[in-house]
């Protein structure tokens, strides 16, 4: 008698429509990406990290965010392994350190990132934060990379409103495509003026640490809403970040189960009552706060 076959595990279906937002260039990008901060730091975890990114791609989440700073290039090497043979599926984001943000330093840093990720271009290249190099010099270097085809777009990270205004006054400053900042339920400062500034100009905000490095996953304040939707507090926190137009969330997921939960968060529809409850638990800012970084 032939043995019964065992059906392979089937992945949960990808959301019918993965929502997108639009860059100033007109290109649509997904509102949920895959972050890689702290990946590549321990070789023992590398297979799980690579497989998590691969599963995200399989489920249709094609924006991957990394940086030369993460594990001193180790995260970019993890990305390279995950996207091997699938580069054209991916919208690849990386970042240059402010110490490399000079006219000569930017192209050298970019070439090293390209080599580590085994690709010929970066889709979106960000200045990780402001340093001592004049902003105009960095922008000139980024523009040169764009014109050379090494990067397709450029943007910034950890820029407050006054930084963005200074950038906008530069000759090529209008080519900025996004600003990646710390934004989540417990870090709502950008809502006061930074997010409205970007929204008026069609510049999406890219939110890193949307679950506050896991802290919101343990928040009792989210449990009632999570129970109503039959999801986890982390999924509620992530859905909240992605609720509005012009925000891209880039949570890190080092396990396949975590990836599945992030993808499922796309389908959570928070009600007006949910939003009001979250506003009471995590009040929006009533005054200007300095931009936070972690």
- Catalytic site residues? 70
Question: What is the CB neighbour count within 10 angstroms for residue 255?
Answer: 14
Spell out the residues 6+ positions from residue 155 whose beta carbon is closer than 8 angstroms to its own.
124, 125, 126, 127, 176, 177, 178, 179, 180, 206
Taking the C-alpha atoms of residue 83 and residue 73, their distance in angstroms, rounded to an integer, is 16
Distances (CA, A) of 67 to 91, 94, 188, 274: 14, 5, 24, 35
CB atoms within 10 A of CB 267: 12
Neighbours of 224 (CB within 10 A): 13
CA distance 14 to 281: 31
118-121 long-range CB contacts below 8 Å, 24 or more apart?
118/80, 118/84, 119/80, 119/83, 119/87, 119/92, 120/150, 121/92, 121/149, 121/150, 121/151, 121/152
Phi, psi values for residue 77, rounded to 5°? -70, -35
The first and second tokens of residue 243, run together, are 């609720």
Q: How far apart are CA 22 and CA 11, in angstroms?
A: 29
Q: Are 116 and 89 in contact (CB under 8 A)?
A: no
């Amino acid at each position: 008698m032939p043995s019964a076959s065992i059906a392979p595990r089937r992945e949960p279906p990808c959301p019918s429509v993965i929502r997108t937002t639009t860059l100033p260039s007109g290109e649509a990008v997904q509102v949920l990406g895959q972050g890689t901060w702290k990946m590549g730091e321990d070789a023992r975890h590398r297979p799980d990290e690579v497989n998590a990114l691969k599963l995200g791609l399989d489920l249709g989440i094609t924006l991957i965010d990394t940086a030369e700073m993460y594990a001193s290039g180790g995260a970019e090497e993890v990305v390279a392994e995950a996207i091997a043979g699938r580069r054209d599926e991916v919208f690849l984001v990386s970042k240059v350190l402010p110490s490399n943000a000079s006219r000569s330093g930017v192209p050298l840093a970019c070439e090293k990132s390209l080599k580590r990720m085994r690709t010929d271009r970066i889709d979106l290249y960000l200045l990780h934060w402001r340093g001592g190099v004049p902003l105009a010099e960095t922008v000139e270097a980024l523009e040169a990379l764009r014109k050379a085809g090494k990067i397709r777009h450029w943007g910034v990270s950890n820029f407050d409103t006054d930084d963005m205004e200074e950038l906008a006054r530069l000759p090529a400053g209008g080519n900025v495509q996004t600003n990646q900042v710390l934004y989540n339920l417990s870090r709502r400062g950008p809502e006061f003026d930074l997010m409205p500034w970007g929204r008026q100009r069609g510049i999406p905000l890219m939110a890193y640490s949307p679950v506050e490095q896991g802290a919101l996953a343990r928040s009792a304040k989210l449990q009632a809403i999570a129970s109503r939707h039959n999801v986890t507090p982390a999924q509620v926190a992530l859905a909240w970040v992605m609720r509005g137009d012009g925000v891209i969330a880039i949570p890190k997921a080092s396990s396949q189960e975590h990836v599945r939960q992030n993808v499922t968060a796309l389908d959570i529809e928070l009600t007006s009552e949910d939003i009001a409850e979250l506003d009471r638990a995590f009040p929006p800012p009533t005054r200007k706060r300095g931009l936070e970084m972690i």
